[in-house]
Amino acid sequence: MYNANESRYETMAYRRSGRSGLKLPEISLGLWHNFGGLATEDNARDMLTTAFDLGITHFDIANNYGPPPGSAETMFGRIMRSDLAPYRDELIISSKAGYLMWPGPYGEWGSRKYLIASCDASLRRTGLQYFDIFYHHRPDPDTPLEETMSALDSIVRSGKALYAGLSNYGPGEAAEAFKLLRELGTPCLIHQPAYSMLRREPENGLLDVCERDGVGVICFSPLAGGRLTNRYLGGIPEGSRAAGASPFLQAGQITPALLSALRGLDDIASERGQTLAQMALSWVLRRSAVTSALIGASGAAQIVDCIKAAGAAGFSDEELRQIDALTKSAQT
């Protein structure tokens, strides 16, 4: 039987999510590619328990995570029952709905029909009584925003989730959604955008909107699909995501310009006493609007490395200037 490390809260830093009463660890663990039907339960358990032993209290899932879709929630549910159940009140567990889950007109997007049915199915797969956070995973271009936000409000009021969140919304859509949720009496807790040194779109208004409206931000892909690690400093290694058939990172994205920039970034990280991955996490966490950085991992050792970014020192103006110049050069 798993017994959590008694010193698990001694080194992790926690931040309040927006103007809510909820604090999240600076580093959270996403269960995207390595917790589904292709994963081994032993490795998944090792990652989850290692993370919790290091003070990571937030585990992030979605209905479509796997592959196949749903399998990450099923895997997490098994480990929750076998190992983590005694610690349920210490955990923040989130799930999402928005992408395709079943055939027909009600299997994706943002209708009330889909969101509530998907939340119920996710609770069954995980075996949980409630989620701490339930997100709408992406904007729906056809369903009225009022219907989608009303569904999130209903999910919270029914006790199926404690907080509502959004993911992948642009600044204008997010601002309107935040307003609707406030008016319904279920303020948005948190927004989850892609944000990294190589992907800066949230800086074009979204971070400001979230900070203005008191909504936390949790960044997904802060390591840019693994590019902001030491894995690609020497090119594309065998067994890496870019060497395979992953739709999320392809060999053509590992350009000479990117490799040159990564090596320059690694030099800055070394001068700071960090790995490239640690610096990339510290970089997103430098923003006051950001509550947590959401990492993925294929093994416990990666989690141990990333955790060292929590509570790290800030950046000098010169470091930020150099980082901006290098990441700009990577796009050319």
Q: What's the pLDDT at 236?
A: 62
| Banded model confidence at residue 330, pLDDT cuts 50, 70, 90 | confident
Q: What's the pLDDT at 239?
A: 54
Comparing 30-34, 100-104, 123-127, 192-196, the range with the smallest average pLDDT is 30-34
pTM to 2 decimals?
0.94
How many whole angstroms separate alpha carbon 93 and alpha carbon 60?
A: 6
Comparing 33-47, 95-109, 151-165, 205-219, the range with the smallest average pLDDT is 33-47
Q: What's the pLDDT at 306?
A: 96
Q: What's the pLDDT at 76?
A: 97
Is 159 a residue whose pLDDT tops 90? yes
What are the boundaries of each domain within the chain? 14-232+276-313
Q: What's the pLDDT at 251?
A: 56
Q: What is the CATH number of domain 14-232+276-313?
A: 3.20.20.100
Is 218 a residue whose pLDDT tops 60? yes
Q: What's the pLDDT at 235?
A: 65
Q: How confident is the model over 164-213, as pLDDT tens digits? A: 999 999 999 999 999 999 999 999 999 999 999 999 999 999 999 999 99
Mean pLDDT calculated for residue range 303-329: 94
Q: What's the pLDDT at 16?
A: 98
Q: How confident is the model over 239-277, as pLDDT tens digits? A: 555 545 555 555 567 788 999 999 999 999 999 999 999
Mean pLDDT calculated for residue range 91-111: 98
Backbone torsions φ then ψ of 217, nearest 5 degrees:
-130, 130
Which of 84-91's residues contact partners 24+ apart within 8 Å by CB, and which partners?
A: 84/2, 84/48, 84/49, 84/52, 87/4, 87/52, 90/57, 91/52, 91/57, 91/58, 91/59, 91/132
HSE of 42, CA atoms in CB hemisphere, 13 A: 0
Q: What's the pLDDT at 249?
A: 57
Kindly state the percentage of the chain with pLDDT values over 70.
Answer: 94
Pairing of strands 131-136, 161-167: parallel
Is 25 a residue whose pLDDT tops 60? yes
Q: Are 94 and 63 in contact (CB under 8 A)?
A: no
| Banded model confidence at residue 37, pLDDT cuts 50, 70, 90 | confident
Q: How confident is the model over 69-86, as pLDDT tens digits? A: 999 999 999 999 999 999
